[in-house]
């Protein structure tokens, strides 16, 4: 059955996989998609910068609207003021950063809602973005071998790294647990075994862990950020709009055993209606506060902190809540099935439960925090300028070094946002193979000082993806891995709405009664 390829052909395929374009391809692809879409998406998420101007009486409110963002190719500005294109080799030799100016359209808008006018609108330089060697925005993109040699570049160099202050830094691909997936597993609490369903819900850089536990007396409890302790499952589901007993049971499962467990839960229910449930939740999230505030806070917490990945642009808040209720029911079902031995606990080391964060994803995280920092600075500068009765203009309120520093510093030191360290490493130039291996290396975020035997083991699902033998000896054994030769890294879909339409056209049904909306278990943000 298996037709054996002859040796020559196999060699051709091997060679193709080891061509210059392929070796660090995952790095360029990821970084290019960050430059082409990711940056703009981060800016669009931010949308505006609000200021406190206008809080005083007789003052018109001011805010800044963010528009299109644009990156040019790397260039250097000399002390004498002349500006010219920068090539990687010059950046290495002169110990400067291989970075390109970033421009953004910004307009300062003054006035109340309905009577707004633009005070100043320009495209201004907001900072410099380190550019990956070999990416689309790199000055050597599309050069022939001879042209590369002429500017002092090695034609065989795979690229895929940054140059910051003259040193070549590669961003380590990190292997994280897949977000927005339900993982069911056993845990122990006070010496008893309990069942837990976990989801790392992630949207726009915000990550929230939602836990659904089945305690030893069979009651379901949910915990999520901003709520201390845990909340009764039935209360939360009712607060989300699933009111009747029948509905709740039906949504969890039709299995008679599970129904029995569910009925136990419903008997113990603290509340019967949506209003009562929200009140109850309000008491938990803002105890000791006024009743109105409690309700407001409860609604805010539900919409902001509970399963944020289910939010989607253009979907009603009402529908999102129902979706959240359904999602919680799936988590409950996972707990019960685990308790009934209908399923085994999920394997965290299975490669289906892993996602790789490549340079583009890491740069996106970095750009998001840098942009936030810039926005805070612009807000402060605007307020200062306004207080000193200065003309408000875009050019004078943007300090471009704010963004530049926030982008360069983490790449230079490896101290990434979110407290991770060692994310960027000096490219190993011991020999050519060293470089190749380094660019195709990936790292598990697990601590190397703990055993984590299962995480270090070779998992069957790594077949064809991860090299079974290349891993360091010593404390990092099994935590640092390397790509297999023929590994292909797939990217997240660009157009999620389109994907959903396509799925719907193929006969995938959403939750009944909610047309066109489905439970999303695919990453909402990557």
Partner 1 sequence: MDDGNTNSTCTECDGQLRSNGTETVCEECGLVSDENAIDHGPEWRSFEDDETDRRRTGAPLTRSRHDRGLSTEIGYGSGSRLTGRKRRQLARMRREHNRARISSKVERNQVYGFTEIKRLITELSLPDSARDQACTLFKSAQSEDLLRGRSLEGFAAATVYAICRTLSMARTLSEIVAVSRADESELKAAYDALNRELGLPTGPIDPTQYLPRYASKLDLDTDIEQCAREHVETLLDNCAIGGRNPSGVAAACLYVAANDCPDCDSITQASAGDVADVNPVTIRSTVHQLEEC
Sites of contact with partner 1 (CB under 8 A): 77-84, 228, 384-385, 388, 390, 395-396, 399-401, 404, 414, 421-422, 425-426
Burial 174-184 (b: 16+ CB within 10 A, else e): bbbebbbbbbb
Distance CA 40, CA 123 (A): 14
In the complex, minimum distance from the CB of residue 79 to partner 1, in angstroms, rounded to a whole number = 5
Closest to partner 1 by CB, 426 vs 508, is 426
Q: Is the dihedral of CA 458, 464, 468, 470 positive or negative?
A: negative
Closest to partner 1 by CB, 61 vs 225, is 225
Cα–Cα nearest to 218, from 235, 198, 233, 199:
233
Closest to partner 1 by CB, 21 vs 401, is 401
Cα–Cα nearest to 230, from 249, 207, 212:
212
In the complex, minimum distance from the CB of residue 81 to partner 1, in angstroms, rounded to a whole number = 3
Please name the residue that has the structure tokens 């009603």: 316
In the complex, minimum distance from the CB of residue 124 to partner 1, in angstroms, rounded to a whole number = 10
Closest to partner 1 by CB, 116 vs 400, is 400
Count of alpha carbons within 13 Å of 454, Cβ hemisphere only? Answer: 5
Closest to partner 1 by CB, 185 vs 428, is 428
Closest to partner 1 by CB, 353 vs 415, is 415
In the complex, minimum distance from the CB of residue 172 to partner 1, in angstroms, rounded to a whole number = 9
Cα–Cα nearest to 458, from 489, 429, 438, 481:
481
Tokens of 185: 């597993």
Distance CA 359, CA 113 (A): 40
Closest to partner 1 by CB, 83 vs 454, is 83
In the complex, minimum distance from the CB of residue 84 to partner 1, in angstroms, rounded to a whole number = 6
Estimate the crossing angle of helix 25-33 against helix 359-387, to 10 degrees.
30
In the complex, minimum distance from the CB of residue 215 to partner 1, in angstroms, rounded to a whole number = 22
Q: Is the dihedral of CA 514, 515, 521, 525 positive or negative?
A: negative
Closest to partner 1 by CB, 455 vs 511, is 455
Closest to partner 1 by CB, 3 vs 82, is 82
Closest to partner 1 by CB, 25 vs 168, is 168
Mark out the alpha helices in 356-399 (DSSP H runs).
Answer: 359-387, 394-397
In the complex, minimum distance from the CB of residue 345 to partner 1, in angstroms, rounded to a whole number = 27
Do the Cβ atoms of 436 and 23 come closer than 8 Å?
Answer: yes
In the complex, minimum distance from the CB of residue 396 to partner 1, in angstroms, rounded to a whole number = 5
In the complex, minimum distance from the CB of residue 368 to partner 1, in angstroms, rounded to a whole number = 19
In the complex, minimum distance from the CB of residue 385 to partner 1, in angstroms, rounded to a whole number = 7
Do the Cβ atoms of 73 and 137 come closer than 8 Å?
Answer: yes
Please name the residue that has the structure tokens 């009743």: 291
In the complex, minimum distance from the CB of residue 465 to partner 1, in angstroms, rounded to a whole number = 24
**Residue 164: count of CB within 10 angstroms of its CB:** 23
Q: Which residues contact 257 (CB under 8 A, 6 or more apart)?
A: 336, 340
With helix as H, strand as E and coil as C, how does 2-30 read? CCCCCHHHHHHHHHHHCCHHHHCHHHHHH
Cα–Cα nearest to 98, from 63, 56, 133:
133
Closest to partner 1 by CB, 81 vs 507, is 81
Tokens of 424: 């960027």
| Beta strands at 441-443 and 173-177: parallel, antiparallel or unpaired | parallel
């Amino acid at each position: 059955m298996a037709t054996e390829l002859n040796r020559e052909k196999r060699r051709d395929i091997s060679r193709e996989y080891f061509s210059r374009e392929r070796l660090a391809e995952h790095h360029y692809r990821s970084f290019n998609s960050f430059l082409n879409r990711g940056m703009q998406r981060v800016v669009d998420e931010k949308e505006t910068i609000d200021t406190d101007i206008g809080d005083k009486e007789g003052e018109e409110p001011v805010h800044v609207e963010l528009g299109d963002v644009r990156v040019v190719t790397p260039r250097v500005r000399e002390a004498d003021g002349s500006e010219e294109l920068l090539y990687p080799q010059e950046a290495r030799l002169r110990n400067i950063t291989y970075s390109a100016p970033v421009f953004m359209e910004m307009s300062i808008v003054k006035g109340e809602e309905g009577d707004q006018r633009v005070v100043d609108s320009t495209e201004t330089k907001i900072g410099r973005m380190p550019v990956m060697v070999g990416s689309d925005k790199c000055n050597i993109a599309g050069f022939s071998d001879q042209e590369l040699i002429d500017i002092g570049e090695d034609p065989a160099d795979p690229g895929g790294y940054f140059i910051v202050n003259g040193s070549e830094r590669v961003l380590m691909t990190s292997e994280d647990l897949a977000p927005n997936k339900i993982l069911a597993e056993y845990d122990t609490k006070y010496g008893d075994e309990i069942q837990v369903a976990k989801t790392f819900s992630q949207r726009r850089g915000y990550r929230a862990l939602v836990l659904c536990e089945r305690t030893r007396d069979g009651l379901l409890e949910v915990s999520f950020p901003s709520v201390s302790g845990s909340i009764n499952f039935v209360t939360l589901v009712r607060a989300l709009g699933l009111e009747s007993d029948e509905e709740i049971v039906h949504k969890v499962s039709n299995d008679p055993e599970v129904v029995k467990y569910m009925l136990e839960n419903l008997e113990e229910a603290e509340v019967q209606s949506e209003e009562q449930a929200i009140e109850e939740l309000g008491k938990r999230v803002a105890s000791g506060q006024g009743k109105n505030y409690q309700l407001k806070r409860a609604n805010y917490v539900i919409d902001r902190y509970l399963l944020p990945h289910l939010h989607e642009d253009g979907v009603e808040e009402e529908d999102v809540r129902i979706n959240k209720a359904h999602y919680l029911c799936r988590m409950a079902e996972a707990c019960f099935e685990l308790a009934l031995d209908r399923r085994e606990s999920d394997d965290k080391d299975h490669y289906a439960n892993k996602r790789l964060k490549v340079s583009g994803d890491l740069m996106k995280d970095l750009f998001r925090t840098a942009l936030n920092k810039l926005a805070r600075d612009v807000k402060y500068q605007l307020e200062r300028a306004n207080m000193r009765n200065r003309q408000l203009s875009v050019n004078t309120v943007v300090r471009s070094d704010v963004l530049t520093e926030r982008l360069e510093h983490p790449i230079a030191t490896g101290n990434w946002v979110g407290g991770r360290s060692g994310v960027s490493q000096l490219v190993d130039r011991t020999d050519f193979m060293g470089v190749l291996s380094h660019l195709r290396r990936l790292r598990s975020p697990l601590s190397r000082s703990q055993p984590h035997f299962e995480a270090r083991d070779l998992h069957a699902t790594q077949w064809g993806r991860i090299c079974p033998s290349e891993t360091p000896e010593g404390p990092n054994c099994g935590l640092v891995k390397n790509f297999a030769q023929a590994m292909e890294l797939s990217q997240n879909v660009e157009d999620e709405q389109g994907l959903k339409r396509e799925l719907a056209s193929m006969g995938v049904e959403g939750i009944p009664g909610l047309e066109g909306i489905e439970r999303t278990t695919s990453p909402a943000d990557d």
